[in-house]
Amino acid sequence: MKTIYVMWIRQLKRYLRSRARIIGSLGQPILFLIALGFGFGPIYQKAGGGDYIQFLAPGIIAMSILFTATFTGIEVIWDRQFGFLKEILVAPVSRMKIMIGRTLGGATVAVMQGIIVMLISLIAGFRPNSTYTIPLAILFMALIATLFTAIGTAIASLLEDMHGFQLIVNFFIMPVFFLSGALFPFDGLPKGIALIAKVNPLAYGVDGLRASFIGASHFGIGLDLIVLGSVVAVFLAIGAYLFSKIQI
């Protein structure tokens, strides 16, 4: 447990020391929230969908967590190139504990980012149905963050080049985001796209956030929790295995 705690604290310190990183990572969520929220809001309302900000904000919160969590994996490559990872891996501690600690640290950072975007959404006009469901929403944020931090770590464990990591991750996360229902409802989608969305784990995270905040759910909040929890367990195992195979 001590190893997990040390790695968790190390990731948090890295994040809090980088103010430019914190501010820079807020740019894209704010742009999407304002440009899409107020740009497509009138069209969405005329189509009978209601307030688009209410629909969009949970998706943008999930997006900020997705990007922050996945790109946390690049720190594995960074540490490998500068020798920090070697110092950690030669220590007489389990690599699985190191990976879990790094993953929890990265997930905590991503959740903090999600909470900041949630507060910005409130300023933009987003209003959750009840404050009592916010802890449930934070649980979904934590599951999303843990899942994609583990995926980012797994990808980084296979690579030694930061540019390659960025290319692969961008190729991966953009379809995951756009096919998650973050920007548009699933109702009336073509069967092919609807099928892809159903196997997209982020779709269940966005749906869970939406259910927690505004009471609207496509899959059902129970299914959202089961699917996300199961996928998190699977990718934690995969990430731990690949991390344990890193050659130093």
pLDDT digits (tens, 9 = 90+) for 153-173: 888 888 877 778 888 888 888
Residue 90: per-residue pLDDT: 66
**Spatial separation of the C-alpha atoms in residues 92 and 157, rounded to whole Å:** 20
Please report where in the chains the tokens 């802890």 appear, as a residue.
Answer: 135
What sign has the CA pseudo-torsion 214, 217, 221, 225?
negative
Question: What H or E segment, with its residue span, contains residue 234?
Answer: helix 221-244
Calpha distance 114→187 (Å, rounded): 26
- How far apart, in whole angstroms, are the C-alpha atoms of residue 166 and residue 6? 27
Q: What is the average per-residue pLDDT within 83-93?
A: 66
**What confidence tens digit (pLDDT) does each residue in 4-30 have?**
666 656 666 666 565 556 666 777 888
The answer to whether residue 205 scores a pLDDT higher than 90 is yes
Computed over every residue of the chain, the mean pLDDT equals 82
Q: How far apart are CA 179 and CA 176, in angstroms?
A: 5
| pLDDT, mean of residues 50-64 | 89
pLDDT of residue 87: 66
Residue 207 near residue 218, CB atoms below 8 Å: yes
Rounded Cα distance, 53 and 38, in Å: 8
Cα distances from 49 to residues 36, 43, 73, 184, 190, in angstroms, run 14, 9, 37, 10, 19
What pLDDT, in 10s, does the model give residues 108-138? 888 988 999 999 999 888 989 888 889 999 9
Structure tokens at 25: 């990572």
194, with CB counted inside 10 A (0-12, 13-18, 19+), is middle
Q: For residue 89, is pLDDT > 80? A: no
